[in-house]
Amino acid sequence: MQTLLIHFNGPDYDPEFDDERLTGQLKRVYNLMKDGTWRTLSEISQITGDPPASVSAQLRHLRKKRFGSHTVLKRNRGDREHGLFEYSLILNDHAGGIDDGPRNQD
């Protein structure tokens, strides 16, 4: 399997300050979630040590083509009125892995 080149962007993104942190978050979330287990943002956060908002952002990244076009499923956990959701990652078999891939060296 080919390894994907991890590349972040955005108006506030500065590789000097953000690259190592964001790459680490993405790899931790990917390595945890690649087993397909359903987990809430809080559960992922507790296991990876990353803030729930960052976990949510990394799950969104995993859907993007440059991060593998993986499928991130979302469903209710418990009563819908409580607003608690859980997520499961389905790997794109045609995408490369990111768990030990190189970082972008801009």
In a domain, 19, yes or no: yes
Phi, psi of 42 (to 5 degrees): -65, -40
pLDDT band, residue 30 (cuts 50/70/90)? very high
Q: What is the CATH number of the domain that holds 21?
A: 1.10.10.10
Phi, psi of 74 (to 5 degrees): -135, 135
Where in the chain does DSSP place strands (E)?
39-40, 71-76, 85-90
Phi, psi of 75 (to 5 degrees): -150, 165
What pLDDT is stored for residue 71 in this prediction? 97
Q: Is residue 93 pLDDT above 90, yes or no?
A: no
In a domain, 63, yes or no: yes
| Structural domains counted in the chain | 1
Residue type, 88: S
What pLDDT is stored for residue 51 in this prediction? 97
The reported pTM is 0.85
Q: Describe the chain by its helix, strand, coil percentages, rounded to 5.
A: 40, 15, 40
pLDDT tens by residue, 39-65: 999 999 999 999 999 999 999 999 999
What pLDDT is stored for residue 99 in this prediction? 57
Q: Is residue 96 pLDDT above 60, yes or no?
A: yes
In a domain, 101, yes or no: no
In a domain, 57, yes or no: yes
